[in-house]
Chains A and B, each alone.
Chain A
Amino acid sequence: MKKSTWINIGFQVGALVLALLITTLLLLAAGAPPFKAYESILSGAFGSSNDLASILISWSPLLLTTAGVLITFSAGLWNIGVEGQMVLGSIFATWMLRLLQDTNLPPALIIILGIVFGMIGGALWAALAGALKTFGGVNEIFGGLGLNFVATALTIYLVFGPWKRPGVGSMSGTQPFDQKLWLPTLSNTGLSLWALGASILVVIIIYFLLRGTYFGLRLKAVGKNIKAAFLLGIPTWQYSMFAFLLCGAFVGLAGAIQVTAVYHRLLPNISNGYGFLGLLVAMLINYQAIWVLPIAFFFAALNVGGIQLQIVYKMDSSFANVLQDLLVLFVLLGQGVRERFLRKA
């Protein structure tokens, strides 16, 4: 292997060690025995086949959000709005299911329409951020952030307002759909192979799209140098918009899956942070689509294992997120340091 490859690996390992070190210090400060805590995360994640199913349930939306942000990242866009786009996917899917649940249409068709509608919802919300950026000059970070809040507010309004359960609205969401409108799942696990298969398929599509197509190459050119891309004859703003639309559709699919396969209703916190987590995974893998599957799996496992911390040590389950965040932070820091290091060398 080349020397630079070794240096790269060195920096990644260093980042992991540092992240673990700081997490350990935090665990000590919080009064939890660190090694036992790590052990409980591990056993929480891989202790039983049920745990594995939980990881896979968590993996699927994370794959989709990561795949989505890879597209917008390639186009040089910081699509912070993924979270809201996923929420809109859930809202639109719920909307369609509510509209059709009392009709005589075959349930499979209703589910499919719900999912497609969810993808449209995500794409529209992303297009809004894109239009604000392209035509209104609003930076997509601010536009996306603002739209995230709007999406959350909209969910809460729907859950407590027009779509509230019979009687009184509650944080536990809307009235669950009839079981015939549930995406089929493996027995006793809640894991939908359809959702999982679709998510993996999307990652594979993104991988080839970004790697071997004119579309992907042009998107990269737009992302890396929009002026030069324009002079090379690429319709730049159209490509930016298309990146938003595509990302929104995939992220909307994640939202629709949460409704049709996992919760079977609309919840105030339906997106569960998967949008932001997808951004983190994309940053951690330095936007290389080939690493999406394993790294997203690792993050999903940390999410699931983190729940154990809460059960065993009465700690907040988001402690696993601290480890995730620190990891990304140190990897990014490592990249910066490495660049300076290589420039000097």
Chain B
Amino acid sequence: MNIELRHIHKHFGKVHANDDIVLNIPSGTIQGILGENGAGKSTLMKVLSGFIQADGGDILLDGKSVVIKSPADAIRYGIGMLHQDPLDFPPMRLLDNFLLGRSGGLFPDRMTVAHDIHELAVQFDFSLDPEAYVDGLTVGERQQLEILRLLWLGARVLILDEPTTGISASQKDKLFATLRKLAAQGMTIIFVSHKLEDVEVLCHKVAVLTAGKLVGEASAPFNAKKLVEMMFGKEIPLGARHSPKPGAKVLQLHDLAVEDIRLHLANINLEVNAGEVIGVAGMEGSGQGTFIRACAGLMRPVNGHVLVNHHDLTGRSYHVFKRNGVSFMPASRMEEGLVQGLTLAEHFVLAEETQGVFIDGDKGRKLAEDRIKSFNIRGTPVSTVESLSGGNQQRALLALLRSPLSLILLEHPTRGLDIESTIYIWSKLKERCQQGTAILFISSDLEEILQYSDRVLVFFSGKVTLPLDVTSLTTAKLGELIGGMGWTKSTSGRAE
């Protein structure tokens, strides 16, 4: 099926997530969509697959203008989307997952459907048992299940969102072979990824999105350097920096190994000095979130040791880490950082040491007033946290950190904030560094990483680089590493 996107616009509040996107995808093409986190890739795909509606623009399928109101609508037009997190029902059988998406019929014909599944599976060389339960499958097998299900429902366009995260190499080969076969049959494949490697081997065409705009298109064979430049923009000059004096070691990781559902990270060795800033780069879901939580005691490592100020705290809880001078600031401010319904003053009272049984209301208010002033928060002691803007919530989170601290772990400290708030937050963090606090932060903003870090760790698909000195990095080099290219012995400590 030929797809034409004409002048697609989508706003989320002030954010222009899709800004006048024009893209033609002819039948039988494997179209890659590249872009950073937040570039608007997912938004565009959600528009095409009916999850959300565009504010403006047209979608043409085989030259006919269509309005796609829901995912069910999309599949009727033949558009199926494979989500990054499989949208299936783990406690049910494969067969039931097939039956669920189909309309009609009070009594489904299980026999025929089981037969259909079997035939499709054979065609693509998948070994799936229709009677097996989904929760026993690997991520790769669940993906195969989704592909079969969408094909069975009559999809002629397949959209895949980051499909190569968390699947094995052989599953990836099989997936790519399948996609090539489908394209050869005239299906249209849209492959959304941040992995340059995958896009290079698989796609016929690629479109690059940055900040909601389509900034460039290219056809195979690709020039990787050029793609990186399109994704991350031009080189940015770095400001003058002072290198930190080698201070006491506040955090030591020895052969640390951590796991989440998708990834296994092993052999991480790192020593963080007092006053140092470590930037953690990588596309979202590359394992850095699990890593930083392991450094905070929020996740139990499967192997290795975590030492804080030379005390081995491996396997201890976050509260023990906290007593040893570690603080963690989560990315999701309202979900994990602040308590909706409580006021700023109540937050400051909670964050400080308890004194006696009864709360001294005046003292709490005074404390809140001081912090509000010194952290430039737009709010009053009795403002509830949800009434604050994002930037002010982030400042409030920062203001909640106790003093002194040995190590602050931050997830996306300035995500979604304007320039002014960003600069303010970093000036406050740098003040802490002067006092000897080390900082380890995750960011998807390359400029932020290069601007504020002393050393950088790059995560890619469950692999981690050695700590790289920031002076040895450029935007392009960092961009490549994030995309999984240029990993050599000198960066990862392992031969590739």
CA distance A258 to B129 in the complex (A): 60
Interface flags, A217-239, vs B, CB<8A=1, else 0? 11011001101111111110000
B357 at the interface (CB under 8 A from A): yes
CA distance A214 to B352 in the complex (A): 11
Choose one: A217, A220, A231; the contact of B328 (CB below 8 Å). A231
Looking at B24-32, B339-347, B471-479, the stretch in contact with chain A turns out to be B339-347
Please indicate which of the listed interface residues A217, A220, A229 has the most CB atoms of chain B within 10 Å of its own CB: A217
B420 at the interface (CB under 8 A from A): no
Nearest neighbor of B328 in chain A, beta-carbon distance:
A231
Q: How far is the CB of B245 from chain A (nearest CB, A)?
A: 31
Nearest neighbor of B355 in chain A, beta-carbon distance:
A214
Q: How far is the CB of A180 from chain B (nearest CB, A)?
A: 39
Interface flags, B329-360, vs A, CB<8A=1, else 0? 01000011111111000110111001011110
A213 at the interface (CB under 8 A from B): yes
CA distance A127 to B346 in the complex (A): 28
A313 at the interface (CB under 8 A from B): no
A215 at the interface (CB under 8 A from B): yes
Choose one: B319, B340, B357; the contact of A233 (CB below 8 Å). B319
Which of B342-398 touch A at CB < 8 Å? 342, 346-347, 349-351, 354, 356-359, 361
Q: Are A218 and B350 in contact (CB under 8 A)?
A: yes
Q: Which size bracket describes the interface of A in this complex?
A: 10 to 19
Q: When A214-B354, A215-B357, A235-B319 are in contact, do A227 and B336 touch as well, CB less than 8 Å? A: yes
What residues on A are CB-neighbors of B328 within 8 Å? 231
Q: Are A213 and B338 in contact (CB under 8 A)?
A: no
Q: Are B339 and A213 in contact (CB under 8 A)?
A: no
Q: Are B330 and A217 in contact (CB under 8 A)?
A: no
What residues on A are CB-neighbors of B342 within 8 Å? 217, 220-221, 224
Q: Are A225 and B339 in contact (CB under 8 A)?
A: yes
Q: How far is the CB of B13 from chain A (nearest CB, A)?
A: 16
B400 at the interface (CB under 8 A from A): yes
What residues on A are CB-neighbors of B336 within 8 Å? 225, 227-228, 231
A212 at the interface (CB under 8 A from B): yes
What residues on A are CB-neighbors of B346 within 8 Å? 217, 221
B98 at the interface (CB under 8 A from A): no
Please indicate which of the listed interface residues A224, A227, A228 has the most CB atoms of chain B within 10 Å of its own CB: A228
Q: How far is the CB of B364 from chain A (nearest CB, A)?
A: 9
B318 at the interface (CB under 8 A from A): yes
Choose one: A213, A214, A224, A231; the contact of B340 (CB below 8 Å). A224
What residues on B are CB-neighbors of A231 within 8 Å? 318, 328, 330, 336-337
Q: When A218-B350, A233-B319 are in contact, do A228 and B338 touch as well, CB less than 8 Å? A: yes
Choose one: A212, A215, A224; the contact of B339 (CB below 8 Å). A224
13 A-B pairs with C-beta separation under 8 A: A212-B358, A212-B361, A214-B349, A220-B342, A221-B350, A224-B339, A224-B340, A225-B335, A227-B336, A228-B335, A228-B336, A232-B339, A232-B351
Which residues of B are in contact with A by a Cβ distance under 8 Å?
Answer: 318-319, 322, 328, 330, 335-342, 346-347, 349-351, 354, 356-359, 361, 400
Which residues of A are in contact with B by a Cβ distance under 8 Å?
Answer: 212-215, 217-218, 220-221, 224-225, 227-235
